[in-house]
Amino acid sequence: MKDCSQCVVRNSAICAALMPDELDVLSQLGRKQRVGRGQTVVWEGDDAIIVANVVSGILKVSMNIHDGREQIVGVVFPSDFIGRPFGQKSPYSVTALSDAELCIFSRSNFDAFARNHPELEHKLLQRTLNELDRAREWMLLLGKKAAHERVATLLLEMSQRLGENGCSTTEAGLDSFELPLDRQQMGDLLGLTIETVSRQLSRLKADGVISLPDRRMVAINDRRRLQDLSAAA
Amino acid sequence: MKDCSQCVVRNSAICAALMPDELDVLSQLGRKQRVGRGQTVVWEGDDAIIVANVVSGILKVSMNIHDGREQIVGVVFPSDFIGRPFGQKSPYSVTALSDAELCIFSRSNFDAFARNHPELEHKLLQRTLNELDRAREWMLLLGKKAAHERVATLLLEMSQRLGENGCSTTEAGLDSFELPLDRQQMGDLLGLTIETVSRQLSRLKADGVISLPDRRMVAINDRRRLQDLSAAA
DNA sequence: TTCATTTGTTGATCTGAATCAAGGAACGTC
DNA sequence: GACGTTCCTTGATTCAGATCAACAAATGAA
């Protein structure tokens, strides 16, 4: 891999912790890879062979029960880190929700490099702490929120996270965006069925809180109302 | 605080990363504190003022919705770390489930010390990654498992974690132990009501899978069956 | 364009867990 | 040891969301 200095996530991924010369060393260990929508890059239960930075695209982190039930336990955006460093097995799968570009490292190489670069580990720690906060917030949703609250929360979360890297954005998030998930995936993330997700979206639309220009697009018409409905903590 | 070398969690808490002289420095920053059952040491939404190692006792990490709904998002055992380092606000509360002993630091002191001790940060990173794995496993439970599967999973998890530090233990976990949670707390952890938890426990007892000598004690009679019922990943 | 396939919506029915209700067992206090 | 309180269990009923079913709309291939 050459020329990380041109990388679009150079300053937002954990690489931001590194000086140019250190970055050169790391870049020798990694390679850019394109993955197509639907492609799985990490399998649950497999040896944790690789880790990666997301350069572009959106991916899901998911866990399965043997009988086919699936729970999405994380959604990963550009500049986020994926994989399970410092662990033998990956407890989850990672699958592309859109075409994506990754900056991939072998886990053993990355682990060794990270252990020698405390600033990098510090960035990784901060990222992991944030991810843990988000996971716990989602546990509250899955354990205690009603269907309409879950859907409202998801829309706000997507609005916010999709807006984070974007250029011209309000503090709160995008008012119009394309969902990176289909209805089934929304259900798998929210602990609901596809039908329930669809009904709740229809209801929000009927109430004028949102518009649904097409299958994937969402426009938030009344953010305040959506926030009330989300039963935020 | 004096003499960490005698501390019962010296070798299992993150302190294990430190050399004796470094530990002396850290110990100057901290203090031992006893907290009684039911006492809250960190409040959701408050400034994240303190962090701590758990020396003894068991605590819950919880999040609330304004209307009173509560979700327990973590259970913390001796040698575990509590608090939100490198963050302004604590997104959750921490409350003692039993009388407990903590080794408390001001967050700012701890943050500064940690940033200068990469080995300590590395331990903290590993711990946080493990906690994230556990949180995601629980998301699978909350999003997809039926009531009887949730209760079975909880019993196995408690059996295992209570056995971890204990002296003479089988690989799998303790076959008999005292629950650190009452029925309400089990419900708040499992995303179920107190009545449903009680019914599922009664059913497991009636089926001979477990025994319930008293309110808090559990004996696992048929671990294999309990594992099947837990719908493990 | 047409046709087949996938994806999403809506309605009817069912069901697992919540809620409502009552009573029983353990616990702490005096 | 009696008393009030808290915690737990069990039963009856309700309800939110799952499941079953049909169809509509978008997508894509020939």
Q: What is the pLDDT of residues A25-38, one digit of tens each?
A: 999 999 999 999 99
- Find chain B residues with C-beta within 8 A of A61's C-beta: 136
Residue that has been written with the tokens 């009887």 in this structure? B148
B36, amino acid identity = G
Beta-carbon separation of B121 and A118 below 8 A = yes
Round to a whole number and report the distance in Å from the CA of B87 to the C1' of D4: 46
Give residue-wise pLDDT tens across range A52-78.
999 999 999 999 999 999 999 999 999
B91 CB within 8 Å of a chain A CB = yes
Residue A5 Cα distances to A36, A52, A78, A104, A123, angstroms:
25, 17, 16, 16, 18
User: Tell me, what DSSP letter sits at residue A8?
Assistant: T
Over 90: is that where the pLDDT of A208 sits? yes
Q: Which of A25, A173, A16 is nearest to A80 (CA)?
A: A16
Give residue-wise pLDDT tens across range A143-189.
999 999 999 999 999 999 999 875 555 677 899 999 999 999 999 99
Q: What distance separates the 2 farthest-apart alpha carbons in chain B?
A: 56
Strand pairing report for A40-42 and A93-96: antiparallel
Task: Compute how many other C-beta atoms are within 10 angstroms of the C-beta atom of residue A211.
Answer: 13
Residue B5's pLDDT is 86
| Tokens, residue B161 | 């974690």
Over 60: is that where the pLDDT of B168 sits? no
Over 70: is that where the pLDDT of B188 sits? yes
Q: Rg (Cα) of chain B, in Å, rounded? A: 18
Residue A233's pLDDT is 72
| Tokens, residue B5 | 């070398």
Strand pairing report for B30-35 and B59-64: unpaired
Average pLDDT over chain A reads: 94
Count chain A–chain B contacts defined by CB atoms under 8 A: 131
Beta-carbon separation of A125 and B84 below 8 A = no
Residue in B46, B70, B73, B228 to test binding to A, most A beta-carbons within 10 Å: B73
Evaluate whether A220 touches A229 at the Cβ level (below 8 Å): no
Round to a whole number and report the distance in Å from the CA of B12 to the C1' of D7: 35
Round to a whole number and report the distance in Å from the CA of A199 to the C1' of D23: 16
- Find chain B residues with C-beta within 8 A of A138's C-beta: 139
Checking each nucleotide's C1' against the CA of B181, the nearest proves to be D7
Give residue-wise pLDDT tens across range B78-104.
999 999 999 999 999 999 999 999 999
CA B218/CA B228 separation, integer angstroms = 18
| Tokens, residue A31 | 């390679």
CA A124/CA A114 separation, integer angstroms = 9
Give residue-wise pLDDT tens across range B6-15.
899 999 999 9
| Tokens, residue A196 | 């329930």
Strand pairing report for B50-56 and B81-82: antiparallel
CA A74/CA A77 separation, integer angstroms = 10
Beta-carbon separation of A137 and B66 below 8 A = no
Evaluate whether B95 touches B40 at the Cβ level (below 8 Å): yes
Dihedral over Cα of B172, B204, B198, B135: its sign: positive
What pLDDT band is residue A109 in, cutting at 50, 70 and 90?
Answer: very high
Beta-carbon separation of A66 and B233 below 8 A = yes
Over 80: is that where the pLDDT of B1 sits? no
CA B96/CA B104 separation, integer angstroms = 14
Residue A5's pLDDT is 87
CA B84/CA A81 separation, integer angstroms = 20
Beta-carbon separation of B136 and A63 below 8 A = yes
| Tokens, residue B97 | 């489930």
CA A146/CA A143 separation, integer angstroms = 9
User: Tell me, what DSSP letter sits at residue A98?
Assistant: S
> Residues for chain B: how many in total?
233
Q: Which residue of A has its CA nearest to B118?
A: A118
Cα end-to-end span (Å), chain A: 43
Give residue-wise pLDDT tens across range A83-97.
999 999 999 999 999
Q: How many CA atoms lie within 13 A of B84 on its CB side?
A: 25
User: Quick check: helix, strand or coil at residue B4?
Assistant: helix
Rounded to 5 degrees, what angle do the CA atoms A156, A170, A146 make? 10
- Residue numbers of B between 189 and 208 with CB closer than 8 Å to A: 190-191
The CB-based long-range contact list for B111-120 (8 Å cut-off, 24+ gap) reads B111/B85, B111/B86, B113/B25, B113/B26, B113/B29, B114/B85, B115/A122, B117/B17, B117/B18, B117/B22, B118/A118, B118/A121, B119/B17, B119/B18, B120/B14, B120/B15, B120/B17, B120/B18
Evaluate whether A190 touches A141 at the Cβ level (below 8 Å): yes
Give residue-wise pLDDT tens across range B203-224.
999 999 999 999 999 999 999 9
Give residue-wise pLDDT tens across range B103-143.
999 999 999 999 999 999 999 999 999 999 999 999 999 99
Beta-carbon separation of A70 and B144 below 8 A = yes
- Going by C-beta distance under 8 Å and a sequence separation of 6 or more, which residues neighbour residue B19? none
CA B190/CA B139 separation, integer angstroms = 10
A112 CB within 8 Å of a chain B CB = no
CA B159/CA B170 separation, integer angstroms = 10
Over 70: is that where the pLDDT of B164 sits? yes
A159 CB less than 7 Å from any atom of strand D = no
- Residue numbers of A between 47 and 86 with CB closer than 8 Å to B: 61, 63-67, 69-71, 73-74, 84-86
Checking each nucleotide's C1' against the CA of A150, the nearest proves to be D17
A211-225, B18-32, B43-57, B160-174: lowest mean pLDDT where?
B160-174
Residue B102 Cα distances to A7, B36, B63, B85, angstroms:
45, 11, 21, 16
